[in-house]
Amino acid sequence: MFNNSIGKGKSINQTIGVSMESPFAVEQPMNADEFNDEYLLKNMDLSKLPSADDKAANPFGLKTIGTVGGICLLIGNMTGPGMVNISYQYQVGGVTLSTLAYILMMILSSFSGLFIIEAMAMIPGNPRFQLRVEFTMLCRFFFGKWGYIASQLFINISLQVTNIASIIICAQVMDSILIFFFKTTCGVSFTRGWICVHEESPNNSPFLDEYMLFTLGFLIIIAIIVPLGFLNLDDNIVIQIGCVIAMLIIVTSWVVIFCLLGLKAENLPAFGKVSGMAQIMGNTMFNYAFVTTIPSWVNESKPTVNINRSLWISTIGSTVIFIIIGVFGALAFSNMSASSDILSLITTSPKSNVFFRFSVYLFPFIVLASTIPVFSIVVRYNLVQNNFCSKKVANFFAIILPWLVTIPCLTGNWLNIISNYSSLFFNSIANFIIPFALYIRAQKFKKNNIISPEQRRIVEEVSKETVDWEENETILFEDRKSFKGLKGVSKKNSVRISWICMISFTILVLFVIFTNFYFPEESS
């Protein structure tokens, strides 16, 4: 899968398709400052680059995402499946530690995003994101071949795990919708064959702990969501804007519902159980596992978008939503269990009515179903760039595979298990450790100011995959200043902050893993 034809009987010129006269044919390290966008414009045949009208030749989207669209995209990527368990997290962990955890993660995830964006800008020829550089290609440039392969593993599994959690919730709620309107939903059980149920359950799936091959709700959401995964990221922006507006309306209605049910202070302690610490940090990290999507967003953002401001607005806005749902939901319901979520609690409440149920049924398709194709698209982008695999194979892994993996997880307590443990092993590394490591390596590259022949080939490859590269360069020609994540902070201090964040996250992840296994019954 990895393109490693160099050194296997082919010359460099044959491999990358350049003439002997081209400076790209020189197998010598060169000054990185000289290998910039002007150098690329001068020495590349721009007629061979894909145009905006030639989508068949280029599997990526265009630079058409504006400020509002970008903010809505990021908020949508954060407000995912972990939202339904926030109230339980607040109840078992306490309001003090839970709120502090969300504020801390808001700051650290913003730093993580800003640092990875700045690392993108340190690639020669890409000071204002003229080139298309996906997350895994960024790892290949700064970490080499094995870092590239490892990043494919962690980043794509991180995104797909979030998709699996979203699919589980969507399928469960769709089955509840069928029960509400038609008084029944059916499916095929692994042990009992075709079965039907007629009542909703407060414990996630109406089928309880029965292992299902598929349910009617599962099949319906496949038909609705899967086709969207074959689009590009910029094609989904209108949907993202509409979904975020609807999500804000739903969250507002939930606050009204919680107040009508009655808010009881005894349901929300200031400090929870000791074992609640694991639940707090695991689920909190899961909610901020959006950093892996940032490079794709930057690649398709308009040159006029203020990247820094958009990121901070998104993280602060999402954090406010998380805290509101956590506090009000915990106050409204008593004695929550790990197998229940806020959606099932609202629908099975004694005071539940059509309005309450409508807000619950709408949530998965507004908040969750809209992010599933986005994450699938980002996975496909990372697999396709550099020809790691063909577009057809990438579509299978990105779009089809998570639905197959979801089948044994449709019922029971799998949602909490996935959101808690996956955030420790994959989401935390992909979103909060790799970005800081990339930034540290990028600053070292910038300091040495030497670009290797392999890195030059990488830049040429991403140049060939850039749509309307010459037009982007013209738009950005007057702004030659490279993007800076933390404005007003020196490079030396930025590197120190990156080291502190990376070490802190590593210690935190190890601590949470320990507490999860040390208190297995209490944290589940």
Q: Classify burial at 504, counting beta carbons within 10 Å of its beta carbon; exposed 0-12, middle 13-18, buried 19 or more.
A: middle
pLDDT surpasses 90 at 20: no
CA distance 412 to 204: 7
Q: Tell me what pLDDT residue 4 has.
A: 38
Task: Specify if 390 maps to a domain.
Answer: yes
**11-30 average pLDDT score:** 42
**104-123 average pLDDT score:** 94
User: What is the share, in percent, of the chain residues with pLDDT greater than 70?
Assistant: 79
276-287 and 95-121 helices, crossing angle to 10°: 40
User: Hey, which residues does 6 pair with through a beta bridge?
Assistant: 10
Task: Specify if 303 maps to a domain.
Answer: yes
The helix (run of H) or strand (run of E) holding residue 450 is: strand 450-451
The CATH number assigned to the domain holding 345 equals 1.20.1740
Q: Tell me what pLDDT residue 70 has.
A: 95
pLDDT surpasses 80 at 217: yes
Q: What is the mean pLDDT of the chain?
A: 80
CA distance 15 to 201: 59
Q: List phi, psi (to 5°) of 189.
A: -90, 150
pLDDT surpasses 50 at 522: no
pLDDT surpasses 70 at 57: no
pLDDT surpasses 60 at 53: no
Q: Tell me what pLDDT residue 285 has.
A: 81
Task: Specify if 14 maps to a domain.
Answer: no
Would you list the DSSP string of 178-225? HHHHHS-EEEEETTTEEEEE-S--SSS-TTTT--EEEEHHHHHHHHHH
Task: Specify if 476 maps to a domain.
Answer: yes
CA distance 499 to 468: 37
pLDDT surpasses 60 at 15: no
pLDDT surpasses 90 at 435: yes
The model's confidence at residue 202, banded by pLDDT at 50, 70 and 90, is low
Query: 185-189 and 212-215 as β-strands: parallel, antiparallel, unpaired?
Result: antiparallel
Q: Tell me what pLDDT residue 46 has.
A: 53
Task: Specify if 185 maps to a domain.
Answer: no
CA distance 83 to 321: 9
Domain that holds residue 335: 75-171+219-523
Dump strand ranges (E) for 6-117.
30-31
N residues, the chain: 524
pLDDT surpasses 50 at 276: yes
pLDDT surpasses 80 at 500: yes
Task: Specify if 129 maps to a domain.
Answer: yes
Task: Specify if 323 maps to a domain.
Answer: yes
Q: Any long-range contacts for 109-112 (C-beta under 8 Å, 24+ apart)?
A: 109/288, 109/290, 109/291, 109/315, 109/431, 109/432, 110/311, 110/312, 110/315, 111/436, 111/485, 111/486, 111/497, 111/498, 111/501, 112/291, 112/431, 112/432, 112/435, 112/436, 112/501
Q: Tell me what pLDDT residue 354 has.
A: 79
3-state SS, one letter per residue, for 322-388: HHHHHHHHHHHCCCCCCCCCHHHHHHCCCCCCHHHHHHHHHHHHHHHCCHHHHHHHHHHHHHHHHHC
pLDDT surpasses 60 at 55: no
Task: Specify if 355 maps to a domain.
Answer: yes
Q: What is the number of structural domains in the chain?
A: 1
Closest CA to 292 of 229, 376, 231: 376
CA distance 10 to 286: 45
Q: What tokens appear for 53 in the block?
A: 């009208």
pLDDT surpasses 60 at 5: no
pTM of the model: 0.83
